[in-house]
Amino acid sequence: MLPFFQLYSNLILQTLFSLSLTLVLTFLKIPVFFLQGLHTYIHPDNVAGHHGGSASSSSGVRAAIRRPSDSGSGLDGYQSLSSRTNTELKKKNKSKDKFEFDENNAQIFRLKLDEGHLQTRLFYNDYHNSFVFSFVGISCLLLYKYLGYKQDSGVLANGDLIPIIFGFIGLIKAFSSLAKISFEKSGSKRSEKQFSAIFGVLGFILGIIICSGIGPLVFDFHFDSIEGSWRIFVSILMGFIAGSLYMPAGKNARSFWLGTDQLRCNLSIISCGWFSRLILYANYILTVFTALLWINPFVEILSFVSFSKSEFTRFRLLCLLLSGVLQIVSLRSNLQMFLNEAVLSWYQRLHASKVPDLDFSRAKVFLHNHYLCLAVVQFFAPSVSLLLFLGLSQIDTNSFDKYNLVKEVAVFMAWWIVFIWAVITSATLVFYRRGILT
């Protein structure tokens, strides 16, 4: 019995670890805990009729706008985001034929996300499953790296099978969730779906070019060992990733734009604090830098630095790892900016005219609240897919035919995610800066 445990120790440890971690993540509700504490917003139809001051406090709802204490709105103690003074808020004498704007109905309320809120949101199950299987896959790959590789011991004795299985399951869950939300009718604009399709086609064409032998002139990848059918498969996968990442990368650019206060709105409730801004800047800079590490002109520049080939390879893999980790670290900040965008829309509408269009801002707040988990999946899936591809590329095994080919493609796909993310984010930020997007 003891020789059996010694021979299959890696497999037993991997199996027990993956099962126990799955149970812990599920029963302790770690996916919910990961998002708890963020603030979402509601825009009720009639504040005075539905919420009194004590009722709002007892229900956990907090006004993000605070009216003056003598306004008689029943929301004493809350603070207004409006820059108007108490004198400016006094009602003026108007003729009977003019519409009198009721400012009570313009108020927006802030509440903290908890388990009840998250579990009722659309696509929560997709986020939960992606989180659990991706985290288990990444953890099994880390355990494999720690345990080491037993040479000539077979696939079962090595324990290679468990991290490979969970790694691919995590990738399938992440990509299937991205594909599912891409086809959600009201989750995105029609133009965004069209641009996603265009980027998918362009990604496929670029994949054909890279795999055909022209790519090595620009990109530091060599696919000489890949056969024709595999090249088509890799190109299709590249097109799918490029199309799936268009909308998430656009949301990432919008979150960066708002979080770093590029609008100069000077509203503390809209932008991030200094630490979150630092994370957003570091994430963007590292993503762009990592994307350049496989482009030949940049590689030639770095070759003059005292890097040996093996050191440069490790450095590039380390940058991929840090890029994926930073994307996960910045997820909460990005998601909060997605929710705060609804507040910005409300604020702009409120000050756009004397009689603002509250129906639009109310719909905006509702949609951002309703599609909360959709945005979570869009921020979460690319980063964990990057880490899973990177982890699969580090498995040293001869137990599977052509796994060296899988390792080579896995590194390329990890870089491809970073490259597409950097290109779309940078282009979107340029459009924001030029005023083409608002």
Chain segment 179-205, per-residue pLDDT in tens = 999 888 777 888 889 999 999 999 999
C-alpha distances (whole Å) from 120 to each of 47, 114, 115, 131, 370 are 23, 10, 9, 17, 9
Above 60 in pLDDT, residue 76?
no
Question: What per-residue confidence (pLDDT) applies to 99?
Answer: 44
Residue 317: the pLDDT is: 94
How far, in Å, CA of 48 to CA of 52, rounded?
7
Q: Give the separation between CA 396 and CA 375, rounded to whole angstroms.
A: 35
Q: Which position has the higher pLDDT, 160 or 166?
A: 166
How confident is the model over 399-412, as a mean pLDDT? 78
Is the model's pTM score more than 0.95? no
Axis crossing angle, helix 161-182 with helix 228-259, rounded to the nearest 10: 60
Which pLDDT score, from 0 to 100, does residue 332 have? 94
Q: Which residues contact 378 (CB under 8 A, 6 or more apart)?
A: 178, 181, 247, 248, 251
Q: Please report, rounded to a whole number, the percentage of residues in the chain having pLDDT higher than 90.
A: 41
The DSSP code for 371 is T
Over range 245-257, report the average pLDDT: 94
Q: What is the pLDDT of residues 27-55, one digit of tens each?
A: 999 999 999 888 888 876 655 544 444 34
